[in-house]
Chains A and B, each alone.
Chain A
Amino acid sequence: MDKNDVDRTLTRIAHEIWERNRGSENIAFIGIRKRGVTIAERISGKLKKLEGAEIPVGALDINLYRDDLSEIASQPILKQTEIPFSIKGQKIILCDDVLYTGRTVRAALDALIDLGRPKAIRLAVLIDRGFRQLPIQPNYVGKNVTAEKGELFEVFLEEDDGRDEVIITKGDLNGTEK
């Protein structure tokens, strides 16, 4: 996927969110650090153009909720969770770049529920690469790709990496879904 593909995909997701929620009332975006936050901000920006209303965006760090803390060698570096609004009663759209095993999303769900009781949580991802290990399904998907097990998805976004691109490489699996 190149810059235009990424942009078109996110535009479509924004329209889908707009359509299915009949507007943007009571919606808030929460991105999973770090590229999920960028995706959340972009979709929010696109919805603003459609709707005119500012939709809040929060950032979630899921490292404290990981299920593999006792299995990995060193503790992951924590980044801040910054959610400057109450999630109580809101329809939360959780955003991430790649959906793979589903473990990150499981951690994010636990983290969100510790912050309050949202009315609903929906999941939006740029890439769904299959091979789930948990019963988790996204509501909004940019692109479904069935990759081989040994393949690695790399998402680059302008704000984080200086360019918009999604590529598939042969590589180490650990590193896709953190």
Chain B
Amino acid sequence: MELKNKDLISISDVSPEEINLILDTAVSMKEISSREIKKVPTLRGKTIINLFFEASTRTRTSFEIAGKRLSADVVNISASSSSVVKGETLEDTGRNLQAMNPDQIIVRHPCPGAPKILAELLPASIVNAGDGAHEHPTQALLDAFTIREKKGTLSGLKVLIVGDITHSRVARSNIFLLLKMGAEVIVSGPRTMVPLFIEALGVAYIPDINAAVKDADVIMMLRIQLERQGKTLFPTLREYSRFFGLSRAVLENAREGVLVMHPGPVNRGVEISPDVLSGSYTVILDQVENGVAVRMALMYLLAGK
């Protein structure tokens, strides 16, 4: 069993068997992070470039640590400090980086499809670390890993995703992955933030969060993108928080043992209240920890390509 593509651009490109392979491999990788010497020599001599055209601390650090724990050489490039500000095109940046013979390039870009352009152009393995409102496949994989770790399985679970579904790459990758693995997906949020005809994907829409949490095994809260306020899809933050925020009162309607997840960064008191954040059902930091293991697994498996 191996991955069939040299790249990871979208969850739609990977089969359930490949997803299981990545998650199983990540179980072995997680153990490495708990050791005193958190490093194995597996990717010694491989070069991995983190090419980030958008701000990120969690994802970039996670990829960097993952590469370093496998002994790869990791180079970070952010758009603000690169020749992109001098007007170099994406393709030219890609060709120039390829000339230095990297094995893998991790790409985050504000435009959907940018990693795909590089994947088709370059022989290096390209990993999509978030492309605009399209996909964020490694986030979905680490979410799946966390759910599987806590619940034992993905299949048959009911997962509720709350927030700006339309503009969320995290929601899109998660919906694709969860449906593929046999989970049931429900979304909630203001009508303006949920795509019309989402039911056609096999996803249910329940506008009232109190009703939506009732049968959920997992609740994923999405970040309200405060930087995009002004072109806003709801009247005020306070109103959003009151109708769609996850507070203790809302959570009381949920099942015993429900998991609360968030891809971060969290707006405390907006989409999720501080007392819920510190609750025992919240696994946000497990998600971050598992992110390193899942990305190590992916780097390991792609290195064979």
The interface stretch among B36-44, B48-56, B203-211, B236-244 is B36-44
Q: Which of A73-81, A92-100, A158-166 contacts B (4 or more CB under 8 A)?
A: A73-81
In chain B, positions 1-51 with a C-beta closer than 8 Å to chain A are 1-2, 21, 24-25, 27-29, 31-32, 35-37, 39-42, 45
- Which of B40, B70, B304 makes the CB contact (< 8 A) with A74? B304
Given A79-B28, A114-B35, A65 contacting B1 (CB threshold 8 A): no
Contact among A65, A75, A80 with B301 in the assembled complex (CB-CB below 8 Å): A75
Contacts A69-B42, A75-B304: A80 and B27 contacting too (C-beta < 8 A)? yes
Binary CB contact string for chain A from 102 to 128 against chain B (1 if under 8 A, 0 otherwise): 000000001100111000000000000
Does B63 count as interface, using CB distance less than 8 angstroms?
A: no
Q: Is the CB of B28 within 8 A of A69?
A: no
CA distance A171 to B64 in the complex (A): 43
- Interface status of B303 (Cβ within 8 A of chain A): yes
A64 interface contact, C-beta 8 A: yes
Given contacts A74-B2, A80-B28, contact A64 B40 (CB under 8 A): yes
| Chain A residue contacts of B31, Cβ below 8 A | 80-82
Q: Does B300 contact A (CB under 8 A)?
A: yes
Residue of B nearest to A107 (CB): B41
Chain B at the A interface: SS class? loop
Chain B residues contacting A74 (CB-CB under 8 Å) are 2, 304
Decide if B40 touches A78 in the complex (CB within 8 Å).
Answer: no
Residue A7 interfacial (CB < 8 Å): no
Flag if B41 contacts A64 (CB, 8 Å): yes
A61 CA / B300 CA spacing, docked (Å): 15
State whether A61 touches B301 (Cβ < 8 A): no
Interface contact B28-A75, CB-CB below 8 Å: no
State whether B303 touches A78 (Cβ < 8 A).
no
Q: 4 tightest CB-CB pairs across the interface, nearest first?
A: A75-B304, A74-B2, A78-B28, A64-B40
Instruction: Tell me the A residues contacting B by CB distance below 8 Å.
Output: 61, 64-65, 69-70, 72-75, 77-82, 110-111, 114-116
Q: A78-B24, A115-B37 are in contact. List 15 more A-B contacts (CB 8 A).
A: A61-B28, A64-B32, A64-B40, A65-B40, A69-B42, A74-B2, A75-B300, A77-B1, A77-B25, A78-B29, A78-B300, A80-B27, A80-B31, A114-B39, A116-B36
Q: List 23 A-B contacts (CB under 8 A).
A: A61-B28, A64-B42, A64-B70, A65-B40, A69-B42, A69-B303, A69-B304, A70-B45, A74-B2, A74-B304, A75-B2, A75-B303, A77-B1, A78-B25, A78-B29, A78-B297, A78-B300, A80-B27, A80-B28, A111-B40, A114-B35, A114-B37, A114-B40
